[in-house]
Amino acid sequence: MSKIYNEYLKLKATNSEKLYLFQVGKFYIFVGDDCDTINNYVVLKKTKFSNETQKCGFPVNVLDDYLRVFKNHNLHIEVVNHLSCKDENAFKNKLINYIDKIDINKITPLEAITCLAKIKEIVNNEKDC
């Protein structure tokens, strides 16, 4: 489970009435039930965030525009900017540990494809963290 989704679950347990908007790089995203709820007011493209949930969002440069729309709908939005999900060393170590376990002299083509898929998953989880 991603750090953002874990934080989302903690925040929802504290106050389920708010919708939580997370900054992830150059985007703001809603996850979980908040993704579904916000789409009742503003249609944002939903995409898979993790195995547990979906996400939807918009670029950071239009935050004020969306906050104005949310306010007009009397939605209680909390913007979460402080979440730092990037731990470069942990990410590198996880990737290196996985790659080190691969014996390239004994791997079959099918196993190599499976390994590449796992590496892609690790990288995508880091991007979405």
Domain containing residue 31: CATH number: 3.40.1170.10
One domain for residues 97 and 75: no
Structure tokens at 30: 């809603």
Structure tokens at 117: 């898929």
Q: How many Å is the maximal CA-CA distance in the chain?
A: 62
Domain count across the chain? 2
Q: Is the pTM of this model over 0.85?
A: no
One domain for residues 18 and 68: yes
- Give pLDDT tens digits for 50-87: 887 999 999 999 999 999 999 999 999 999 986 654 55
Structure tokens at 92: 């590198």
What's the domain range around 119?
A: 88-128
Tell me the chain's radius of gyration from C-alpha atoms: 18
One domain for residues 10 and 59: yes
